Amino acid sequence: MAIRLGDTAPDFTADTTEGRINFHQWLGDSWGILFSHPKDFTPVCTTELGAFSKAKPEFDKRNTKLIGLSVDSVESHKDWAGDIEDTQGSALNFPIIGDEDHQVADLYDMIHPNANDTLTVRSVFIIGPDKKVKLTLTYPASTGRNVDEILRVLDSLQLTSQYQVSTPVNWTDGGEVIIAPAISDEEAETKFPKGFKTLRPYLRMTPQPNK
Ligand code: BEZ
């Protein structure tokens, strides 16, 4: 069954390029991003894995661990790593799961048979420190993901887990946010001391509270 927002991220034990891991133990108290790519030694995947490796310091700053997956073997991932470093200028610096038996791909519904009946699609699962799924994304093999967008949604998820706000269209870190409609104006005055603008009773904008 498909994994839905708010579900507990299914736990598993699997071999990776950094040894055998138990997923929940490996996550510890961190946020986590589990993402699949269709196949090793393919062009778009090579660019994605290079870009995620390059951005790892940004994920570290956000207390977020990355882990990749495809239905290739750990040996194949390790062989491919040289190509990623040579062509993308960034060495692989997080584990990739070898999922030849589709154990994890099936658990996370990463194979979409009407797209391809053997390869994983480009799935992204963002998991909170409580092990609940906070966000899912699915891209086809032909479309590479955008690392900046994944960092942007991570910023929003982390902010909105701490403050009673939501983030508007095209928000990026540092932009104005929306006060939760359930909060009264009186409460908002104490919770958001930088002030707020009321555009409609349900649409009140305030500067990002943690900046
Ligand atoms: C790619 O990464 O370019 C790719 C992988 C699998 C199928 C098609 C394209």
Q: What is the pLDDT of residues 39-56, one digit of tens each?
A: 999 999 999 999 999 999
pLDDT of 1 reads 74
Ligand 1: which atom is nearest the Cα of residue 47? Answer: 2
Q: How far is the CA of 187 from the centre of ligand 1 (A)?
A: 51
pLDDT of 199 reads 98
**Residues with a known catalytic role:** 45
Tokens of 97: 């799961």
Structural domains of the chain ordered from first start: 13-144 (3.40.30.10), 163-206 (3.30.1020.10)
Nearest CA to ligand 1 atom 7: 141
Tokens of 111: 């194979």
Q: State mean pLDDT over 103-107.
A: 98
